[in-house]
């Protein structure tokens, strides 16, 4: 590991000032991803600014019925919070589906959104990778890609975003707040992640040196009946090969509102707006759920070894929406 300087920030403006927009410096949250990447040499910062103890760990209801989540709240605290579990159960489920108890205690909400892909070529510094070493190529396209993207990828990068939390946040219209030397700003989670295109090394729309300070969830009554379902290669403690966050409001057998987002299929949590449009106003029945999934997945461009994800996601959508519809009918 490269030697580095370390400073602990006392407050948000202090943290932003300490980083000073230096491209060779990184904010340190829980460290569960960054420290690991520093050990393998993927990240080689000269300076760390520790933001883990900033007073940004609160999770509190907003006046309008939403929720404000501080960036240094841990995954554990988020998943255990009564209002998260009551108003956005799929978010609690998504967080609990990720990592292990130990890692959830360390990891922060801000860090979760900015964690890096676990693509084996990205984490192997001896391999080419357009995300880690722009212009060096993407071996995954013709190599090991069974866990890679089927939506929104490009010939330059087919890596997936590994977050479970982010999938539920995307479904519930989360807005990300950040601070810069020039003042605060906001981005919808949908707009936080940049399209892959030919610049996979540019991952977010955050200004240089910005510090994520929190996430706000607008009120979403539909989210009270929501679910996160994750498919992985073992029963626990593994990244998804496909996941769905879904919420459904059904009245008289008709879908009044639907929320749907996919995980592990794209470079970002994938909000399935096409499927949501098909669902809205349709009968709450399996054939319509399948049609909605098919409409979203029509844009899928699978590689030779990850076509199973298209079938998997279709089945997941149908299963989870059917369960939610059944609950609503009870």
Partner 1 sequence: MDPSTSSTVTLDINGEKHTLSVDHRTTLLDALRERLDLTGTKKGCDQGQCGACTVLVDGRRTVSCLQLAVAADEREITTVEGVARGGRLHPVQQAFLDLDGFQCGYCTPGQICSAVAVLEEHAAGWPSAVTDDVRPEAGPPPLTPEEIRERMSGNLCRCGAYPSIAEAVARAAAPARTEDEEAVA
By CB under 8 A, name the binding residues for partner 1. 1, 3-8, 18, 28, 31-32, 35-36, 39-40, 47-48, 50, 52, 74, 76, 79-80, 82, 85-86, 89, 92-93, 96-97, 99-103, 105-106, 235-237
Residue 306 per-residue DSSP state: -
Bridge partners, residue 251, by sequence: 254
Buried b (16+ CB within 10 A) or exposed e, 209-226: bbbbbbbebebbebbebb
Give the nearest distance from C-beta 40 to partner 1 in angstroms: 8
Residue 83 beta carbon to partner 1: minimum distance, rounded to whole angstroms: 9
Give me the DSSP letters along 184-201. EEEEEHHHHBPP-TT-TT
What whole-number distance in Å separates Cα of residue 302 and Cα of residue 122? Answer: 20
74 vs 112, beta carbon nearer partner 1: 74
Q: Which is nearer to partner 1, 79 or 293 (CB)?
A: 79
Q: How far is the CB of 33 from partner 1 (least distance, A)?
A: 9
The minimum distance between CB 105 and partner 1, in angstroms, equals 4
Confirm if 11 and 54 have CB atoms less than 8 A apart: yes
Q: How far apart are CA 104 and CA 287, in angstroms?
A: 38
Minimum CB distance to partner 1 smaller for 92 or for 187: 92
312 within 8 A of 241, measured Cβ to Cβ: yes
In the complex with partner 1, the residue whose CB is nearer, 103 or 290, is 103
Taking the complex as a whole, the smallest distance from the CB of residue 320 to partner 1 amounts, in Å, to: 15
Q: For partner 1, which is the closer residue by CB, 48 or 140?
A: 48
């Amino acid at each position: 590991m490269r030697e580095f300087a370390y400073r602990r920030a006392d407050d948000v403006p202090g943290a932003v000032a300490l980083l000073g927009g230096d491209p060779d410096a990184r904010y340190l949250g829980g460290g569960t991803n960054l420290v690991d990447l520093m050990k393998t040499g993927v990240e080689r910062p000269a300076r760390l600014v520790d933001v883990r103890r900033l007073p940004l760990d609160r999770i509190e209801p907003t006046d309008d019925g939403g929720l404000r989540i501080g960036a240094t709240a841990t995954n554990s605290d988020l998943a255990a919070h009564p209002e998260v579990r009551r108003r956005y159960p799929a978010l609690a489920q998504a967080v609990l589906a990720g990592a292990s108890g130990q890692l959830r205690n360390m990891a922060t909400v801000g860090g979760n959104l900015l964690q890096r892909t676990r693509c084996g070529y990205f984490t192997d510094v001896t391999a080419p990778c357009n995300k880690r070493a722009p212009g060096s190529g993407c071996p995954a396209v013709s190599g090991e890609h069974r866990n890679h993207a089927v939506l929104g990828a490009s010939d330059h990068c087919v890596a997936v975003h590994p977050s479970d939390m982010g999938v539920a946040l995307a479904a519930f219209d989360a807005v990300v707040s950040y601070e810069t030397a020039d003042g605060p700003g906001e981005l919808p989670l949908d707009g936080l992640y940049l399209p892959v295109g030919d610049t996979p090394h540019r991952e977010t729309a955050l200004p240089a040196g910005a510090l994520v300070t929190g996430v706000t969830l607008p009120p979403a009554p539909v989210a009270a009946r929501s679910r996160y379902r994750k498919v992985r290669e073992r029963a626990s403690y593994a990244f998804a090969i496909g996941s769905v966050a879904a919420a459904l409001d059904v009245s008289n057998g008709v879908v009044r509102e639907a929320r749907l987002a996919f995980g592990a299929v794209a470079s970002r949590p994938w909000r399935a707006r096409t499927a949501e449009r098909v669902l809205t106003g349709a009968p709450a029945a399996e054939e319509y759920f399948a049609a909605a999934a098919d409409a979203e997945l029509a844009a899928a461009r699978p590689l030779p070894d990850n076509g199973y994800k298209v079938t998997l996601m279709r089945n997941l959508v149908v299963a989870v929406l059917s369960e939610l519809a059944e609950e609503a009918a009870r």
